[in-house]
Amino acid sequence: MSIDTTQQPATEGDPAEQPAAAPATKRLNTAKAMVEAIAREMERDEDVFVLGEDVGAYGGIFSSTTGLLDRFGPERVMDTPISETGFIGAAIGAATEGMRPIVELMFVDFFGVCMDQIYNHMAKIHFESGGNVKVPMVLMTAVGGGYSDGAQHSQCLWGTFAHLPGMKVVVPSNPADAAGLMTAAIRDDNPVVFMFHKGIQGLPWMAKNKRSIGPVPTGDHVVEIGKAATARPGSDVTVVTLSLSVHHALDVAEELAADGTADVEVIDLRSIVPLDTEAIIESVTRTGHLVIVDEDYQSFGLSGEIAARIAEHDPTILKAPISRVAVPDVPIPYARPLEYTALPTPARIKEAIIGQVAPA
Amino acid sequence: MSSRIDAAVQRDLYDQMVLIRTYEEAILREYHADKKPAFDIGAGLIPGEMHLAAGQEPVAAGVCAHLSRGDAVTATHRPHHFAIAHGVDLNRMTAEIFGRVDGLGRGRGGHMHLFDPDAHFSCSGIIAEGYPPAAGQALAFKKRGTDRVAVAVTGEGAANQGAFHETLNLAALWKLPVIFVVEDNDWGISVPRSASTSVANNAERAAAYGIPGVRVEDNAVEAVHEAAREAVERARNGGGPTLIEVHTLRLWGHFEGDAQGYRADLEGVPGKDPIPTYEAALREAGILDDAAVAITRRAASDTVESAIAFAKASPEPDPSTVRDYVFA
Ligand SMILES: Cc1ncc(C[n+]2csc(CCOP(=O)(O)OP(=O)(O)O)c2C)c(N)n1
Ligand SMILES: [Mg+2]
């Protein structure tokens, strides 16, 4: 959807915010941070190229490729037909020949038409070849709901990808991590699925999360895949989450800190394959209370996996049963009152945290 | 203009196109009414993506004129024109677009997910994915010994999707009563046909599956009507599928909010609007005059506004029902 970027600048000069010793940063929205990271790698490495639907003149439906066509031309920024099996498969073939394609699946919900190339080929070739064939590529895709786009355009589905061995899965929540994880993903010799939430791109045509613009290092910036971040330290309850839900959790944590209800620690997973089990266990060992917030479907997914890893490690670190705030195993409904009942809203997160610290 | 078509049919085609346009204009108005001054896709009484079919009325009107209620239509992410032309309940369709309990899907589906079992109408937001189910509906009609047919609709962009080609082969192989309709509006979002498609037109692709392929130029409703007449007749008589591609027009953006900065042909677009052109031709032929046009427009407007009023009066779904309807 274009793209009247005049409504909100993608960049803001804000040198005053930077402490003298910190690395130089500039303020970018998440979309722009992704684009800058891609552009930097395209400049560094001739083998990096971008392909997908509407990634050229349009600049990506969610602004993930804005301006790249002008900078790098149609040979390296390729609009494709609506043929996901064909062009994702083509990216795989180019990767096995040593190139480093970044291929966009416009909405993750469309994986259904091309999943064979993704999970039977992209994810398995390295294994099947006994490690002799590498597939260094990035599959970037938009996820998430909250704007009434219905059951086929609002899902997260990261648990589905993470379930299938052979692909790394990264899910940034902010501009700096989007840039750093994109750089890491492009340089990685494995296929990396890069899942960005529409609600934190900083799009001018969608309600914006206030943290969708933030400081991004201007120099070489890599966020290691597989390392969670402590988005907010706290001592009473651990909230483990990712993507847009990090911001909801932070908002709730601030509110509960202000009124003295609880000191909440928020862990931003950033990657789910590999999953930073150590960071989760370290935090829960301190707090004894765990709330998992996941915008994906509840059953058979990320929240269950985290619970299992704690149970495998030592269930006695928990002082209370865990709480899950996830989509209750229904497709994402269209009507707003239903959608906002299904999604992990701040209200649901707050209720779960309060349930941990003050059991009824 | 073909003289084989009689005046009453011409009037019906015109009325149908005006009804569709009136509907799309009303949805346009309602969609944007509460998204000002800053456009926010998730705000307002009708949130979410909105793909309107203004300019593509001739395809729906010309094809659906040959269908009855027992026939099936599978439409796309841009479904309103085919829904209206195939007689989907306008009140309940509108209530669905407003996300209300009296909607076709009780507010669960939204504008890309309209299901009216009485009209055997459905649509999908996944490109080309309406083709396979249409073949299945046709298979059911054939197995049950009926002469009912299924119409599958896609855009020209969708004709590069695997599901499109798989279904053409399947339907040809099994001689299914399907009419494959491709709406070539020159664009798949920002990608022009020339940058997506290896052949000059998709009717040529029918030859690869051994079925007739017809290309209708100029968004001409009567030519669509004629091509569809033959195709529907063939399907009803056991002659198997036909592919019809219509060169039509995307009068507005891909979806609402699309500034169409990529669109080189933008300047010429309003002049290609098929409705004034057809209206002028029918006036010339003495089939329409001011009074007749006024009657058509008034009737369309009454129907549409009462559907919108119906939708707005319907309650929003109760949040406590969020888990309903996942299973039968
Ligand atoms: C499998 C899949 N891929 C991509 C999309 C995103 N998408 C929605 S509409 C569209 C363009 C469709 O073009 P066309 O088939 O020509 O139909 P039109 O919009 O022109 O009516 C695309 C790429 C989708 N909905 N489903
Ligand atoms: Mg098109």
pLDDT digit string (tens) for B117-126?
999 999 999 9
The residues facing A140 across adjacent strands are A104, A194
pLDDT for res A22: 76
pLDDT digit string (tens) for A237-247? 999 999 999 99
pLDDT at A13 over 50: no
Where are the alpha helices (H) located in chain B, listed in sequence order?
Answer: 7-33, 57-64, 80-85, 90-97, 131-143, 162-173, 193-196, 221-236, 274-284, 290-313
pLDDT for res A71: 98
pLDDT digit string (tens) for A278-293? 999 999 999 999 999 9
CB pair distance less than 8 Å for A152 and B125: yes
Q: What is the mean pLDDT of residues A30-37?
A: 98
pLDDT digit string (tens) for B254-300? 999 999 999 988 999 999 999 999 999 999 999 999 999 999 999 99
Nearest CA in chain B to A335: B99
pLDDT for res A20: 57
The residues facing A170 across adjacent strands are A194, A271
Which amino acid, A118?
A: I
CB count, 10 Å around CB of B1?
14
**C-alpha A189: how far from chain center:** 19
Would the CB of B234 count as within 6 Å of ligand 1? Answer: no
Element (H, E) at A79: strand A77-79
Distance CA A115, CA A95 (A): 17
Q: What percent of chain A has pLDDT over 90?
A: 92
pLDDT at A96 over 50: yes
CA of A196 to the centre of ligand 1 (A): 20
Residues that place a CB less than 5 A from ion ligand 2 = B 155-157, 185, 187-188
- B178-184 β-sheet, strand order: B121-123, B72-75, B150-155, B178-184, B242-247, B213-216
**Which residues lie closer than 8 Å to A250 by C-beta, 6 or more apart?**
A211, A231, A232, A266
| Same-fold call for A23-217 versus A229-357 | yes
Q: What is the mean pLDDT of residues B89-107?
A: 98
Distance CA A301, CA A331 (A): 15
CB pair distance less than 8 Å for B110 and A330: no
Helix, strand, coil shares of chain B as percentages rounded to 5?
Answer: 45, 10, 45
A285, A289, A294, A299: CA torsion to nearest 10: 100
- CATH code for the domain defined by B7-315: 3.40.50.970
- Exposure string of A230-255, with b = 16+ CB inside 10 Å and e = fewer, is ebbebebbbbbbbbbbbbbbbbbbee
pLDDT for res B36: 85
pLDDT at B2 over 50: no
Write the residue with the smallest CA distance to atom 7 of ligand 1: B127
CB count, 10 Å around CB of B36?
10
B157 and A81 in contact (C-beta within 8 Å)? yes
The residues facing A138 across adjacent strands are A102, A192
Q: What is the ipTM of this complex?
A: 0.96
Q: Decide if A153 is catalytic.
A: yes
pLDDT for res A170: 99
End-to-end alpha carbon distance in chain B = 50
Task: State the pLDDT confidence band at A359, using cuts at 50, 70 and 90.
Answer: low
pLDDT at A2 over 60: no
**Which residues lie closer than 8 Å to A75 by C-beta, 6 or more apart?**
A49
Question: Does domain A23-217 bear CATH number 2.10.60.10?
Answer: no
Distance CA A296, CA B22 (A): 39
Give me chain A's average pLDDT, please.
Answer: 94
**Which one of A126, A153, A197, A248 is the catalytic residue?**
A153
Element (H, E) at A342: helix A336-342
pLDDT for res B120: 98
Q: How many residues does chain B have?
A: 328
pLDDT for res B295: 98
pLDDT at A248 over 60: yes
> Would you list the domain boundaries of chain A?
23-217, 229-357
Distance CA A319, CA B253 (A): 55
Which amino acid, B118?
A: D
Q: What is the mean pLDDT of residues B220-247?
A: 98
**Which residues lie closer than 8 Å to A128 by C-beta, 6 or more apart?**
none
Would the CB of B158 count as within 6 Å of ligand 1? Answer: yes
Give me chain B's average pLDDT, please.
Answer: 97
> Would you list the domain boundaries of chain B?
7-315
Would the CB of A115 count as within 6 Å of ligand 1? Answer: no
Residue B26 tokens read as 């009303």
pLDDT digit string (tens) for B159-217? 999 999 999 999 999 999 999 999 999 999 999 999 999 999 999 999 999 999 999 99
pLDDT for res A19: 52
Q: Quick one: CATH architecture of A229-357? A: 3-Layer(aba) Sandwich (3.40)
Residues 299-328 of B with CB under 8 A from A: 316-319, 321-323, 326
Tokens 């907010």 belong to A232
Answer whether B166 touches A (CB < 8 Å). no
Predicted structure pTM score: 0.96
pLDDT at A12 over 80: no
